[in-house]
Structure formats: C-alpha cells, structure tokens
C-alpha cells in the first residue's frame, strides 16, 4: 500500500506502544477511571475528570486496588462512595472581573442602529460573567487537580467549559480587543504561552486530560491581532521564541508526506495518537468502539476520535469516510488522520507568514527569511493539493482515495480568511469562488451559514451554524476584494447578528451554536446539551458590529 499508510499503521499500532492521554494516571490511564466512567456515576463524563483529589494520586490508587481486591467488581453505590471520599467537586476557579472592563467601550459609538447598539452593550456586559481566576490552592497543590495552573485571569467559553480552550481564544481575544480590554487579551495569550511552556505545545484546553492533543494553531494569529491593536513590541520580543516552538511542534509531529500525481507534497493533518478513549468522553468513546472486533481497530478509532477533537470539529461528516470514500456513515466511519484539512493548512501557512513578519519586526532578517521560505512552500502545496480547478474552491484531500472531498464546508474558503492566497490568484479566481458559494446554497439560510449540508446528527453538521465558521466565511468573502464579495460578506454578517439578537432577546443569553434554519434558535446534536455563555459567540457578534455597525440594521 501507499507509504503514508505504512506510517499510519506504525503510528497507531498496539495501544501498549502508545502514551496515555496524559501523564496523570487517575484522570487518563487507570482502572479507577474505567470503572467510574462505565458505571455512569455522572450523566456527563467530563464531570468526573474535572473533580479534584482530596488525597495524593498514590493513596487514591492504592485504596482503589484494595477495593477491587475486596469486591472484584464494585457496585455503582460503592464507586460513588469511593469518589465522594477521595474527590471534591468544589470549583478550582473563582469569579473574576477584569480590571480593564468598561460598560461603554468605544466601538458602541460607531453603531448607528439603536437596537444593535444596545445588543452590543449587552454582549460586552457578558465578559465579567465569564471571567475566572485560578484559586491559590491550585497553584500550591497542582498535583491534586486536572486543571493545569495558569497565572492570569481569563474568559471561559461558558457552560460545562470552565477552562480555556485553544481555538475559542482567538475569537474571544478579538472580542476583548474590540471592547478595549487589551490587558485581558494579553493575559489570555500569556496563559496559552504558559501552557505551551508547561506541556510542549498549546493543548486542546487547560486540563491535563487534553495533554496529548492540540487545536487549530491560532496562537500567532492572536499575537498578530494584539500587536496590530497595541504595538506592544516588548510583549512580542519576550514571547517570540515560544511562538517559534509551537510551529516546530506541528512540524515535528503533525506533518505527513504523500504523493499526488508525479510529485510528493508535505502538509499537516490532525493526528492525536494516544491510548484509549478520551477521558472526558470515556463512556461514549468506549461504547462506540465496541462495534470493532479487534483491539487494534478500537485503538485506531480512538486515535481518529481524538484527532477530530483536535480539529475543533467534534464531530462532523467532514471526517467520515464511507465505503465509497464519501462522507456518509457515522462515528464508526471516522478517519480523521486520513484527511488533509484545508483550514488547518491555511492557519499554519498564516502562522508561518506571521512568524516571518514578527522576526522582521524584531530585526532578525535571517530567521524572517527562514519562515518566509516555509510559508511560501506551504502556500504552494495548498494550491497544488487542495485547490480544485473544476469547482473553483479549496477542498479537503483524502489520502487513501487520492481525491478531493467535494462537499460544502465553510472551511473550504479558509485560505482566503487566513490571507495565504496571492492577490493575483484572488483576482483570477474571485468570480469562480463566488459562483461555487452561490451554487452550493450554503449561504441561503436565514439563521446563518451551516457547518455542512449533511444532516448527520453530529453537532458540526447541518443545521448547526457555528460562530467561528460564520466569521471565517465573512472574512473570506471580504478577502475576494470585489464589490460582490463585500456585499455578500455584509449580508452574511447582518443575517448572523440579527439571528443572534433574536435569540438573545428570547433567552437573555448567547449560545455556542445556532440553528441555520430557524433564526435565533440554539443548535443541537452531538454528545452534550447546547452550552450558553458564550465566548466565541460574543466575539464574533462584536467583530461584525465593530466592522459594519455604521450601516447594519436590526430590521429591514
């Protein structure tokens, strides 16, 4: 078979050869974890791994071995009593109001519509509700917690997500900067850099059980937003090495070289090989894997599930590969590691460009040239592998089937969003990209741009519309640089803001996702109930209000 498939087989060999999800045994690799999660002590598997320990890990594991020796198979009641004795559900966090928060930030004065101005003020007022700081005992006894200590106050996404998440933070930082909260935005970026230094990369979120997977590498893009707004060169100089370290992590662990036509290409894919189910979704993953006969195939499934979680799109038909190579099926047909994603590679090419620019800013021309060379290589490979000249758009690429996955996803236009397409190419292709989007009918919905046109029941599929994907679409349309593209970008943004305002008026809160078919209705599907809050939802609404507030209206 293809040489890259041999690499995959070697990489996801026997589970015994793989590391656990993290190096904290209780939370990631223990009989205790298995027994508690499979006994379903809590409706949400995340609940247990968010508890903190009353005793040391060694004492708890020794006591659990004693319980197993006495009972062989503890009852649900015995397990609950054990957990109640050894674990504490008190939050590791305390509420925190950012010192730079203000009720009437400057951007509000640029919104002409009175109702939208009030909506912007209401969204801005949510920031203190989502503000948290780590309690001192987490810093004093870090081994007792699944929360990875971070120094600065931060904005949580909301709901069950009481830690910071990597790619969520990009849109949260954008929203904070629009609200004039530069110190809080800098603190958010510093927290991610602290996690990077602690773990070796920016993890999926600030919990140890996310240790062996990341999320879309938007750290340098956040730094770019911050530097553009503040011109804080000292912050850039102090952290430029860490930003380089993150790029090297992706180059060391996530690249794959493969043949297309007569040439070989190197790009990134999502790939998180670690042993067993996701700790925070242990029950769900373990049960889903039971359809597979061999332990090796179960482990491959766990790797693909974790790799999809690394993408942020957990889960979507985007990662399903049916018998004919299509995007049919369900979670049991997930093959994330076999797919070269458009958005990941666009984000990474942008990160390489940013690094070249950053090094130039700090007067290091040789380092700037190094990263600029890699950025050009990445842009060229994106064009050669992911651009589809027939349809006039970029598509994910299927490695085993050696073809484009020709389905509508907002990620198809991510190269425009990330500014990794030359202006000459954009001029030649703008009409074709717009034609593709019109023919797809993906922009025709009154509740926003859906994440796909496949009704799979997964939360990153139709009819759910997700704020970051709407932001990607609007910025991609603007990047076309045409009157038609700008007009369509405004229409998509206004449709979204109106839908979110309608939902906010009805529910007095923002949600993580919405229904593209019913304006303002929250989305559904997936492994958990829809969550309110919500960090990136707030950031995207503020982005659109700040960008289009002078002409946007709440009603026609």
314 belongs to the catalytic site: yes
Q: How buried is residue 43: exposed, middle or buried, by Cβ count under 10 Å (0-12/13-18/19+)?
A: exposed
Distance CA 80, CA 89 (A): 13
| Residue indicated by tokens 């332990």 | 295
Q: What percent of the chain has pLDDT over 90?
A: 94
- Largest interatomic CA distance in the chain: 74
- 271 to each of 111, 300, 301, how far by Cα in Å? 43, 11, 12
At 453 the pLDDT is: 98
Short-list 154, 248, 256, CA closest to 206 = 154
**Catalytic residue of the set 113, 300, 461, 512:** 512
532 band by pLDDT with thresholds 50, 70 and 90: confident
- 518 to each of 222, 316, 370, 515, how far by Cα in Å? 32, 20, 49, 5
State mean pLDDT over 317-331: 94
Total Cβ atoms within 10 A of residue 363: 9
Q: What is the pTM of this model?
A: 0.96
At 8 the pLDDT is: 44
Q: What is the CA radius of gyration of the chain?
A: 23
Q: Which two tokens stand for residue 73?
A: 């198979």
**Catalytic residue of the set 29, 314, 396, 398:** 314
Distance CA 495, CA 180 (A): 25
10 band by pLDDT with thresholds 50, 70 and 90: very low
15 band by pLDDT with thresholds 50, 70 and 90: low
State mean pLDDT over 380-387: 98
pLDDT above 70: residue 11: no
Q: How buried is residue 328: exposed, middle or buried, by Cβ count under 10 Å (0-12/13-18/19+)?
A: middle
At 9 the pLDDT is: 42
pLDDT above 70: residue 5: no
516 band by pLDDT with thresholds 50, 70 and 90: very high
Distance CA 82, CA 78 (A): 6
Q: Please state the separation of Cα 516 from the chain's center in Å.
A: 20
CA distance between the termini of the chain:
58
Q: Which residue has the higher pLDDT, 527 or 342?
A: 342
pLDDT above 60: residue 150: yes
Average pLDDT, the chain: 96
pLDDT above 70: residue 517: yes
pLDDT above 50: residue 263: yes
122 belongs to the catalytic site: no
Distance CA 370, CA 223 (A): 20
At 527 the pLDDT is: 79
Per-residue pLDDT tens over the stretch 22-72: 999 999 999 999 999 999 999 999 999 999 999 999 999 999 999 999 998
Cβ contacts of 231 within 8 Å, gap of 6 or more: none
Q: Please state the separation of Cα 418 from the chain's center in Å.
A: 16
Q: What percent of the chain has pLDDT over 70?
A: 97
pLDDT above 80: residue 212: yes
State mean pLDDT over 491-514: 97
pLDDT above 70: residue 404: yes
């Amino acid at each position: 078979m293809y040489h890259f498939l041999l690499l995959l087989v070697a990489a996801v060999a026997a589970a015994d050869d793989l590391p656990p999800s993290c190096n904290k045994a209780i939370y990631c690799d223990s009989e205790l974890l298995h027994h508690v999660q499979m006994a379903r002590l809590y409706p949400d598997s995340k609940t247990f791994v968010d508890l903190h320990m009353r005793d040391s890990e060694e004492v708890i594991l020794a006591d659990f071995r004693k319980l197993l020796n006495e009972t062989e198979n503890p009852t649900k009641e015995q397990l609950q009593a054990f957990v109640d004795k050894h674990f504490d559900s008190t939050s590791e966090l305390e509420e925190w109001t950012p010192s730079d928060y203000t009720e009437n930030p400057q951007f509000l004065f640029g919104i002409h519509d009175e109702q939208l101005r009030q909506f912007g003020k209401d969204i801005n007022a949510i920031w203190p509700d989502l503000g948290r700081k780590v309690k001192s005992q987490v810093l004093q006894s870090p081994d007792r917690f699944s929360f990875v200590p971070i120094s600065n106050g931060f904005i949580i996404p909301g709901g069950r997500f009481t830690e910071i998440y990597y790619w969520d933070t990009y849109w949260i930082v954008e929203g904070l900067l629009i609200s004039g909260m530069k110190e809080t935005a800098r603190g958010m970026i510093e927290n991610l850099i602290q996690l990077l230094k602690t773990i070796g990369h920016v993890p999926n979120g600030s919990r140890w059980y996310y240790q062996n997977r990341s999320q879309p590498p938007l750290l340098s893009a956040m730094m770019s937003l911050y530097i553009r707004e503040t011109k804080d060169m000292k912050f850039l100089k102090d952290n430029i090495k860490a930003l380089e370290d993150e790029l090297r992590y992706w180059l060391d662990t996530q690249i794959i070289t493969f043949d297309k036509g007569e040439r070989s290409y190197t790009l990134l894919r999502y790939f998180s090989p670690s042993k067993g189910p996701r700790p925070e979704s242990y029950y769900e993953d373990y049960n889903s894997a039971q359809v597979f006969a061999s332990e090796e195939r179960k482990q491959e499934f766990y790797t693909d599930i974790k790799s999809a979680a690394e993408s942020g799109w957990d889960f979507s038909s985007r990662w399903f590969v049916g018998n004919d190579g299509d995007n049919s099926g369900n979670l049991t047909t997930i093959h994330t590691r076999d797919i070269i994603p458009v958005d990941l590679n666009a984000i990474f090419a942008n990160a390489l460009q940013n690094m070249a620019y950053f090094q130039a800013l700090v007067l290091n021309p040789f380092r700037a040239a190094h990263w600029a060379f890699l950025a050009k290589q990445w842009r060229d490979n994106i064009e050669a592998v992911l651009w589809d000249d027939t349809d006039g758009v970029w598509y994910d690429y299927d490695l085993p089937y050696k073809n484009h996955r020709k389905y509508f996803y907002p990620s198809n236009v991510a190269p425009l969003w990330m500014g990794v397409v030359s202006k000459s190419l954009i001029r030649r292709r703008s009409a074709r990209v717009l034609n593709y989007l019109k023919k797809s009918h993906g922009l025709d919905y009154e509740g926003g741009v859906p994440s796909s046109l496949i009704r799979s029941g997964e939360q990153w599929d139709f009819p759910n519309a997700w704020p970051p994907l709407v932001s990607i679409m609007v910025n991609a349309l603007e990047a076309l640089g045409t009157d038609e593209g700008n007009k369509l970008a405004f229409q998509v943004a206004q449709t979204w803001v109106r839908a979110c305002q309608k939902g906010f008026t009805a529910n007095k809160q923002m949600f993580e996702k919405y229904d593209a078919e019913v304006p303002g209705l929250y989305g559904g599907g997936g492994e958990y109930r829809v969550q309110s809050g919500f960090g990136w939802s707030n950031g995207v609404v503020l982005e659109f209000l700040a960008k289009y507030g002078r002409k946007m209206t709440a009603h026609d």
